[in-house]
């Protein structure tokens, strides 16, 4: 079969950005006819194709795992020798400039464990086509610069699949003999095939409406299993808020008469922006106080917004090729981040987003899988849905928005949307629109798209008493990354302020542009040496090193009026103490305790912000600060500091914990902030020398009327060895065993636990009757969480590495995309001492020697060994 031929191809091909060529054939119109069934689905596709340019190359239609049962051109069945297959693709020589090409294929949705193409999930049939899944449904030129108008007819058993949804607008439907029925949907907007979607199944609908700014009424539907209907209101509210926000902030209106969202339990990513029919991982739709934490609620809001915003940044203007992926993803993440900030707290949202960037993107940028925001090559595009494309990509847009200011940025995005509406565009098109619409020269800034790696900025401040001036010297360096050894200086926007240590004031925030390797800025009128606040608001995604003392940092943690800089000063204060302690130096821990006391006793601060500021840097973040990571020393140092802060401020933690106890659940910012601070206080209490820590945690666990407090208490208990630990885990399991999304939390909490036996526990959990490789959420909740638990995963026995590699090998046979996403933690071996490094490399090698290994895992494991 075609499938066998393609998977046995010798060396996997490398696709390069410079090789882009416009398509040979265009497909203005597509008609699809689905005869749907879980075991065997028939797909008849009729493509109108037109020759693009003057050439005599044949039509090439991509295919994967499918064979044509019939091929017709202009209504005439082709003989066997009039077409052939080449690496899965269907090749047909065509005489004229325009033809109609029809193919028939058969698929087995229930046999599709990759969750790409048409697959079955909990009795539903649904599709996932981005990036290259459409070729698993029908033969088609599967590339994003082919834009087609789709007309889709679906036919299925009415009892099992009463609801039939596709992109665009419903046109007609009807009943057929033998309990079957059909429906036709048309999407008037030309779209790339990665945005195609259909869903069939027994679904209930949360229906609502939205009136757009020009007065059009849009029917909104969130489709879930009947039992989940009560958990969809938050998603619906988020959708309506997103629609209004995009009109207000970007002037972008929704363009169809219906907008549907479907939640499915088995999904490789978070969600998918298919035109008019978003398909979601159910964890980003379903939320109620009993089962969802505040973080889950925010996740639902953010992802609903993200997918909705793609309607303009992704669908109306799409990507020319997959190297331009950040064009839609970076921009859309930037949009959803700002939306969420507007719905809640700007300060807290920025801190959270930077924490995510540092936890996910910085390690990627400093490791073997580092790649530019606009990559130059790939083997498997699924491997490039990365923190660099998404989160660093968003930071690039943020820097441009900062340099332009709100009004000129909006002029730039208006120009971008107007100029490229209905087109497949490039990152360069976006930058050009910013330059022309916003009136700025971004020549040097373009290097952010080209050069991988996180810039390091050294900022040294020196004061001259005679001239009463301050000189700030900035120096940038970029470490080499795979394939890029010689880096050019970047254009780095750094928001900066100089604080008078006596008055606690500064004279205004300045945007300094660092464009050279080394640059000095002099400021007059400083009789005394000021304190430097730099990269305020995290204005650039860089690592800043300064010569600021612990006293300076303590000052900023108490006085900086930029909330991010204030958080950052506290983090740096803590990092310095912890790194010093790990290196065996005497450290001034009292400075940290005092700074934390200052923050938690300030009555004017937002509790959610307080909870962020007093949070200890994670073990993984501490590891990132060290050339060689010593997981045991990091754990011991952090644990000891936590205990110290807990013990020294115990009465304050008790007071906060008691004071923040709510009477009834609410999702107001005040109530969310109180829960966040309460949980932070609980963690310090449990870490302190107080004997009743576990009892307090257990009481919170038992009494909570919401998952935010319940899961935090469970997490606090899971770190320790109390009797309450086992009791709480049992209660949690028994209460939620039937609810997959909540049971994921039970797995995840144990995999995250800072407990000496975590590695053994994860091994046992991987054999648990509720563990399955078939569901990506379950895999991520156990193995994804475990691989992010530095102390547990890097157990010096190497057991953690073996467990993860076993999982990758087994999962690769079912779902290569999700398997490949588990590889990167093993690729960090250069940062560990030789014992661990050798064990990690051995597992990568073992993975690579598996027969029939996917392209996905081959690329990730191969690069990780280099």
Q: Is 307 in the site for ligand PHE (CB under 6 A)?
A: yes
Binding to ligand PHE in span 526-555, by CB under 6 A: none
Residue 324 in contact with ligand PHE, rule: CB under 6 A:
no
Element (H, E) at 245: helix 233-250
Q: What is the distance between the alpha carbons of residues 729 and 835, in angstroms, rounded to a whole number?
A: 34
Binding mask 402-441 for Zn ion (x = CB under 5 A): ----------------------------------------
246 binds ligand PHE (CB under 6 A): no
Helix, strand, coil % (nearest 5) of the chain? 45, 20, 35
What is the rounded CA–CA span in Å between residue 378 and residue 545?
Answer: 33
CB of 161 to Zn ion, least distance (A): 28
* Closer by beta carbon to Zn ion, 332 or else 818: 332
Binder of residue 801, out of Zn ion, ligand PHE, none (CB less than 5 to 8 A by kind): none
Catalytic residues: 307
State the Cα–Cα distance between residues 710 and 730, nearest whole angstrom.
13
H-helix or E-strand containing 608? helix 607-613
Q: Which of 150, 182, 259, 269 binds ligand PHE (CB under 6 A)?
A: 269
Q: By CB under 6 A, what part of segment 354-393 binds ligand PHE?
A: 385
Omega before 131 within 30 of 0, i.e. cis: yes
Verify binding: residue 130, ligand PHE, rule CB under 6 A: yes
Q: What angle do CA 719, 725, 727 make, to 5 degrees?
A: 165
- Taking CB within 5 to 8 Å according to partner kind, which of Zn ion, ligand PHE, none is near residue 596? none
Residue span binding ligand PHE (CB under 6 A) among the ranges 123-131, 391-399, 753-761, 807-815 = 123-131
Q: Work out which of 89, 105, 272, 844 binds ligand PHE, going by CB under 6 A.
A: 272
Complex with ligand PHE: residue 192 or 537, whichever CB lies closer: 192
- Residue 194: contacted member of ligand PHE, Zn ion, none (CB under 5 to 8 Å, by partner type): none
Q: From the CB of 306, what's the least distance to Zn ion, in Å?
A: 5
Work out the angle at residue 789's Cα, subtended by the Cα atoms of residues 758 and 589, and round it to the nearest 5 degrees: 105
Question: Does the protein bind ligand PHE through residue 349 (CB under 6 A)?
Answer: no
Nearer Cβ to ligand PHE (114/710):
114
Residue 270 C-beta: closest distance to ligand PHE, Å: 7
User: Which of ligand PHE, Zn ion, none does 724 bind, CB closer than 5 to 8 A by kind?
Assistant: none
Give the CA angle between residues 239, 242, 244 to the nearest 5°: 115
534 interacts with, out of ligand PHE, Zn ion, none, CB within 5 to 8 A per kind: none
Nearest approach, Cβ of residue 703 and ligand PHE (Å): 38
Burial of 586 (0-12, 13-18, 19+ CB in 10 A): exposed
The string of DSSP codes covering 177-235 is STTEEEEEEEEEEEE-GGG--EEEE--EEEEEEEE-TTS-EEEEEEEE-GGGGGG-HHH
Residues 232 and 783: their CA atoms lie apart, in Å, by 28
- The residue among 587, 617, 108, 159 whose CA lies nearest residue 351 is 617
Q: Which is nearer to Zn ion, 272 or 707 (CB)?
A: 272
User: Under a CB-based contact definition with an 8 Å cutoff, are residues 264 and 197 in contact?
Assistant: no
Minimum separation from the CB atom of position 296 to ligand PHE (A)? 18
Which window, 126-134, 406-414, 499-507, 512-520, contacts ligand PHE (CB under 6 A)?
126-134
Tokens at 426, concatenated: 């490039």
- Smallest distance from Zn ion to CB 391, Å: 11
Q: State the sign of the Cα–Cα–Cα–Cα dihedral 262, 266, 270, 273.
A: negative
CB of 306 to ligand PHE, least distance (A): 6
- Count of residues touching Zn ion (by CB under 5 A): 2
Q: Toward ligand PHE, which CB reaches closer, 330 or 563? A: 330
Nearer to ligand PHE, 310 or 780 (CB): 310
Residues binding ligand PHE: what is the number (CB under 6 A)?
A: 13
391: DSSP letter: I
Choose the contact partner of 128 out of ligand PHE, Zn ion, none; CB within 5 to 8 A by kind: ligand PHE
**Long-range residue pairs from 664-671, CB within 8 A, at least 24 positions apart, any chain:** 664/705, 665/289, 665/705, 665/706, 667/234, 667/294, 667/297, 669/344, 669/345, 669/608, 670/607
Q: Is 568 in the site for ligand PHE (CB under 6 A)?
A: no
Question: Closer CB to ligand PHE, residue 318 or residue 766?
Answer: 318
Given the complex with Zn ion, which of 315 and 539 has the nearer CB atom?
Answer: 315
**What is d(CA 275, CA 259) in angstroms, rounded to the nearest whole number?**
8
In DSSP terms, which residues pair with 60 in a beta bridge?
A: 91
Instruction: State the residue number with the nearest CB to ligand PHE.
Output: 269
**Tokens encoding 736:** 């939620």
- Locate 250 and state its tokens: 């970007």
Give the per-residue contact string, 321-360, with Zn ion (x = CB under 5 A; - = no).
--------x--x----------------------------
φ, ψ for residue 797, nearest 5 deg: -65, -20
- Between 198 and 327, whose beta carbon lies closer to Zn ion? 327
Taking the complex as a whole, the smallest distance from the CB of residue 329 to ligand PHE amounts, in Å, to 6
Q: How far apart are CA 243 and CA 217, in angstroms?
A: 12
Q: What angle do CA 801, 806, 807 make, to 5 degrees?
A: 100
Is residue 306 part of the contact set for ligand PHE (CB under 6 A)?
Answer: yes
CB of 684 to Zn ion, least distance (A): 37
Give me the count of residues in the chain.
Answer: 866
Which residues have CB under 8 Å from 434's CB, separation 6+?
A: 400, 404, 409, 412, 416, 440, 442
CB of residue 446 to ligand PHE, shortest distance in Å: 24
Q: Between residues 269 and 786, which has the closer beta carbon with respect to ligand PHE?
A: 269
* CA 268 from centroid of its chain's CA atoms: 12
* 273 binding ligand PHE? (CB under 6 A): yes
Minimum gap (Å) between residue 116 Cβ and ligand PHE: 8
Q: Which is nearer to ligand PHE, 345 or 386 (CB)?
A: 386
Q: Which does 272 bind (CB under 5 to 8 A by kind): Zn ion, ligand PHE, none?
A: ligand PHE
Q: If binding is defined by CB under 6 A, does position 322 make contact with ligand PHE?
A: no
Binding-site string for ligand PHE from residue 720 to residue 739, where x marks contact by CB under 6 A and - marks none: --------------------
Minimum separation from the CB atom of position 133 to ligand PHE (A): 8
Q: How far, in whole angstroms, is CA 485 from its chain's centroid?
A: 28
Residue of 128, 274, 318, 700 that binds ligand PHE (CB under 6 A)? 128
Among 153, 155, 156, residue whose Cα is nearest residue 170: 153
Supply the DSSP string of 616-669, one letter for each residue: PPPHHHHHHTSSSB-HHHHHHHHHHHHHHHHHHTHHHHHHHHHHT--SS---SH
Segment interacting with ligand PHE, rule: CB under 6 A, options 243-251, 267-275, 603-611, 710-718: 267-275
DSSP 781: I
Does 329 bind ligand PHE (CB under 6 A)? Our answer is yes
Residue linked to tokens 């919401």: 706
Answer yes or no: are the C-beta atoms of 312 and 246 closer than 8 Å.
Answer: yes
Q: Which is nearer to Zn ion, 331 or 701 (CB)?
A: 331
CA geometry: angle at 808 spanning 765 and 759, to 5°? 35
Measured from the CB atom, is 269 or 538 closer to ligand PHE? 269
Q: Tell me how far, at minimum, the Cβ of 423 lies from ligand PHE, in Å.
A: 18
The yes or no reply on residue 635 touching ligand PHE (CB under 6 A) is no
Binding site for Zn ion (CB under 5 A): 329, 332
Binding site for ligand PHE (CB under 6 A): 128, 130-131, 268-269, 271-273, 306-307, 310, 329, 385
């Amino acid at each position: 079969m075609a499938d066998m031929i393609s998977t046995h191809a010798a060396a996997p091909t490398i696709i390069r950005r410079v090789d882009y060529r416009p398509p040979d054939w265009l497909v203005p119109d597509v008609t699809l006819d689905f005869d749907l069934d879980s075991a065997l689905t028939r797909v008849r596709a009729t493509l109108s194709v037109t020759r693009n340019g003057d050439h005599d190359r044949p039509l090439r239609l991509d295919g994967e795992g499918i064979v044509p049962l019939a091929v017709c051109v202009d209504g005439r069945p082709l003989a066997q020798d009039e077409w052939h297959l080449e690496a899965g693709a269907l090749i047909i020589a065509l005489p004229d400039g325009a033809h109609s090409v029809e193919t028939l294929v058969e698929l087995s949705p229930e046999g599709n464990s990759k969750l790409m193409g048409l697959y079955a999930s909990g009795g539903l049939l649904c599709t996932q086509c981005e990036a290259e899944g459409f070729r698993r449904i029908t033969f088609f030129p599967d590339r994003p610069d082919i834009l087609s108008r789709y007309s889709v007819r679906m036919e299925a058993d009415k009892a099992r699949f009463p609801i039939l949804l596709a992109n665009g607008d419903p046109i007609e439907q009807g009943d057929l003999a033998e309990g079957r029925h059909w429906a036709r949907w048309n999407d008037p907007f030309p779209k790339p095939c990665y945005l195609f979607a259909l869903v069939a199944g027994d679904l209930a609908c949360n229906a609502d409406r939205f009136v757009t700014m020009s007065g059009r009424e849009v029917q909104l539907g969130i489709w879930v299993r009947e039992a989940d209907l009560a958990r969809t209101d938050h998603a619906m509210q988020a959708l309506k808020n997103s629609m209004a926000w995009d009109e207000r902030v970007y002037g972008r209106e929704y363009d169809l008469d219906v907008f549907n969202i479907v939640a499915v339990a088995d999904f490789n990513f978070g969600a998918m922006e298919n035109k008019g029919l978003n398909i979601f991982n159910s964890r980003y739709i379903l939320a109620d106080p009993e089962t969802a934490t505040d973080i889950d609620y925010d996740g639902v809001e953010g992802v609903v917004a993200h997918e909705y915003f793609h309607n303009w940044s992704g669908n109306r203007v799409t990507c020319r090729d997959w190297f331009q992926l950040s064009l839609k993803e970076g921009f859309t993440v930037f949009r959803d981040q700002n939306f969420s900030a507007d719905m809640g707290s700007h300060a807290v949202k920025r801190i959270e987003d930077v924490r995510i960037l540092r936890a996910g993107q910085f390690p990627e940028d400093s490791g073997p899988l580092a790649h530019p925001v606009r990559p130059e090559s790939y083997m498997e595009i699924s491997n490039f849905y990365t923190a660099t494309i998404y989160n660093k990509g968003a930071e690039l847009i943020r820097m441009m928005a900062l340099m332009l200011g709100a009004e000129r940025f909006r002029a730039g995005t208006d120009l971008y949307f107007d100029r490229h509406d209905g087109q497949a565009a490039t990152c360069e098109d976006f930058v050009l629109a910013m330059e022309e619409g916003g009136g700025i020269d971004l020549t040097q800034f373009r290097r952010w798209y080209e050069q991988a790696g996180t810039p390091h900025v050294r900022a040294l401040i020196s004061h001259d008493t005679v001239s009463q001036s301050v000189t700030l010297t900035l120096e940038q360096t970029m470490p080499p990354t795979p394939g890029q050894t010689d880096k050019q200086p970047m254009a780095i926007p750094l928001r900066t302020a100089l604080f008078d240590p006596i008055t606690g004031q500064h004279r205004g925030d300045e945007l300094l542009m660092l464009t050279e390797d080394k640059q000095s800025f002099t400021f007059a009128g400083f009789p005394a040496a000021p304190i430097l606040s730099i990269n305020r608001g995290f204005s650039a995604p860089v690592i800043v090193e300064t010569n600021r003392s612990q006293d300076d940092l303590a000052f900023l943690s108490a006085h900086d009026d930029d909330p991010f800089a204030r958080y950052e000063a506290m983090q740096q204060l803590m990092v310095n103490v912890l790194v010093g302690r790990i290196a065996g130096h005497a450290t001034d821990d009292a400075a940290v305790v005092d700074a934390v006391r200052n923050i938690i006793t300030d009555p004017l601060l937002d509790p959610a912000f307080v909870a962020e500021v007093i949070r200890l840097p994670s073990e993984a973040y501490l590891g990132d600060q060290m050339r060689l990571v010593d997981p045991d020393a990091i754990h011991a140092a952090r644990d000891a500091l936590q205990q110290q802060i807990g013990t020294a401020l115990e009465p304050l933690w008790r007071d906060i914990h008691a004071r923040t106890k709510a009477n009834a659940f609410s999702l107001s910012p005040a109530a969310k902030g109180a829960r966040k601070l309460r949980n932070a206080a609980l963690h310090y209490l449990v870490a302190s020398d107080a004997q009743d820590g576990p009892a307090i945690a257990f009481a919170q666990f038992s009494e909570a009327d919401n998952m935010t407090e319940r899961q935090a208490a469970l997490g606090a208990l899971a770190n320790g060895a109390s009797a309450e630990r086992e009791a709480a885990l049992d209660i949690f399991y028994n209460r939620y065993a039937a609810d997959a999304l909540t049971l994921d939390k039970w797995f995840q909490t144990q995999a995250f636990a800072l407990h000496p036996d975590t590695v053994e526990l994860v091994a046992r959990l991987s054999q648990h009757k509720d563990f399955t490789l078939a569901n990506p959420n379950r895999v991520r909740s156990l193995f994804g969480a475990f691989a992010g638990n530095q102390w547990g995963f890097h157990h010096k026995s190497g057991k953690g590495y073996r467990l993860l590699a076993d999982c990758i090998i087994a999962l690769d046979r079912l779902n290569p995309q999700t398997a490949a996403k588990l590889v990167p933690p093993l690729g960090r071996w250069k940062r560990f001492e030789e014992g661990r490094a050798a064990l990690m490399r051995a597992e990568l090698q073992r993975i690579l020697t598996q027969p029939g290994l996917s392209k996905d895992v081959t690329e990730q494991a191969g690069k990780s060994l280099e």
